[in-house]
Amino acid sequence: MQKQQCRSKRTAFTLIELLVVIAIIAILASILFPVFARARENARASSCLSNLKQFGLAIEQYKQDYDGMYPMARYSSMKWYNWYLEPYVKNNQLNYCPSRSDWVNGYAYNIAFGYFPGEMISPSRSGSLGTYCGTGTGVRMYDGVNESVVTNPSESVVLIDSTISYYYLTKSVSPAYTDASAKSSIDAFFPQTSDTTMRNYYNHDEAGIHNSGLNGVYADGHAKWRKLNFYLDHTVWCPIKP
């Protein structure tokens, strides 16, 4: 009987041992959970990048059909750039970034490349609101851009994750947009004429949705992930570099 009691005492866990085990599990969990979260976000970022590659191909096809012009930016509140690309994409699911699957439009179009046909009807309005990328570049609002004038297409961003526009509208604009109103306006990205202004408007950590970075489509059609800081350089948004 005494031997059996000794064995039971030896095999039982003490309170201290249980606490040590729990502490070890907690430490491992704190190490592994961020790793799993990054791995999951990497998968989403890859899916998002694939969507943007399809849009890049669609833009190239659009340009072939429209004498080298980049797609229109927006015709109305319900017809954004992706409406013009539908004949080439034919898959509405590409509009949704997996990391923001509840957003109707996961990607924003660089207005320096696009144009508004409604504004083009009136020559007096064409370019009347100023220029992008600084003076002397000839990149005027609403005029649109032809691929023949783009000076560095592999480093000129056309499409970007729309979080950069969303956090600008909800944090940098005064009065700030509501969540709903911001989501209805994130189809467009408005570049600025200096790095300082770009940082004042768009430098929000939350915008780096894919592990502190964003996916973008460039003027030559390729898609790539870059750190948020890269996109705060105003020249990467300029079709015609200063």
Instruction: Give the pLDDT confidence score for residue 72 in this predicted structure.
Output: 83
What percent of the chain is modeled with pLDDT above 90?
A: 42
In the block, which residue shows the tokens 């606490």?
19
- pTM (2 d.p.): 0.78
Predicted confidence band of residue 37 (pLDDT cuts 50, 70, 90): low
Q: Which of 19-23, 68-72, 79-83, 148-152 has the lowest mean pLDDT?
A: 19-23
**pLDDT digit string, tens, across residues 156-195:** 999 999 999 999 999 999 899 999 999 988 988 988 888 9
The DSSP symbol for 72 reads: P
User: Long-range pairs for 130-137 at CB < 8 Å and ≥24 separation?
Assistant: 131/193, 132/191, 132/193, 132/237, 132/238, 133/191, 133/193, 133/234, 133/235, 133/237, 133/238, 133/239, 133/240, 133/241, 133/242, 134/193, 134/194, 134/238, 134/242, 136/242, 137/238, 137/240, 137/241, 137/242
Phi, psi of 92 (to 5 degrees): -65, -20
* CA dist 10 → 7, 58, 132, 242 (Å): 5, 71, 78, 79
Cβ atoms of 177 and 170 closer than 8 Å? yes
**Average pLDDT rounded to a whole number, residues 105-129:** 66
Cβ atoms of 191 and 237 closer than 8 Å? yes
Domain boundary assignment for the chain? 11-237
Quote the distance between the C-alpha of residue 24 and its chain's center.
38
